[in-house]
A and B are shown apart, each in its own frame.
Chain A
Amino acid sequence: EVQLVESGGGLVQPGGSLRLSCAASGFTFSSYAMGWVRQAPGKGLEWVSAISGSAGTTYYADSVKGRFTISRDNSKNTLFLQMNSLRVEDTAVYYCAKVVRSIAVAATFDYWGQGTLITVSS
């Protein structure tokens, strides 16, 4: 059974940093691209970032480019999202999601974690 468990959420001040983790199990982690999607309170879904299975290719939404960094440790079956220079508008539930193939191009997310809440506020 595929399981994705996010951690690292919490309250942070504007301009601060936070690192999210996503522990994956139930599949061969290194064989699949992964990504992050966020959902502001009461709002819709917004794609944030994706990374290939080999970690060789990364993609970012313009809204986070230069501030967020996606990475993965295939030896530990873990996905990360380093978030710097956080803004109030980054407040959201962040979902970790598995991609259906090893590259994050022309694919879709097939499994989603439960999400972790990030609140950016002073």
Chain B
Amino acid sequence: DIVLTQTPLSSPVTLGQPASISCRSSHSLVHSDGNTYLSWLQQRPGQPPRLLIYKISNRFSGVPDRFSGSGAETDFTLKISRVEAEDVGVYYCTQATQFPWTFGQGTKVEIK
């Protein structure tokens, strides 16, 4: 199985400041079709997960442009340019390049 390792596991951030989360994969996530199926999810407290970013860097419908994704092969990053109060929650990277689909452990973003 592909293992996704996120760092940090906790990220206290000041409102208006940037935040960055890393996701490292145990194997290349490049699919045979040439795409990389690495996504980022946000889970606010008490809520289900919500898709933020798909295929490394594509923002999903309705996602604010302060969220951005980057990376390639095995190393990926989610950045929040200016953290707002509504961004508090746990962020997961997830891969769907290979079965079983797997998730990182999650990174908790909280306000300092």
Contacts from A to B (Cβ < 8 Å): 37, 44-47, 50, 59, 61-62, 95, 100, 105-115
Contact = CB atoms under 8 A, between A and B. Distances in A.
B37 A106 contact: yes
Nearest to B98: A106
B35 A44 contact: no
A110 B37 contact: no
A111 B51 contact: yes
B54 A100 contact: yes
Contacts of B54: 100, 108, 110
Interface stretch (B12-20, B68-76, B78-86, B101-109): B101-109
A28 B42 CA distance: 25
Interface of B: 31, 33, 35, 37, 39, 41, 48-51, 54-55, 60, 92, 94, 96-97, 99-106
B75 to A, nearest CB: 19
23 contacts: A44-B106, A45-B41, A45-B49, A45-B92, A45-B94, A45-B106, A47-B102, A59-B99, A59-B100, A100-B54, A105-B99, A106-B31, A106-B35, A106-B97, A107-B37, A108-B37, A108-B39, A108-B51, A109-B51, A110-B51, A111-B51, A112-B51, A113-B48
B103 A46 contact: yes
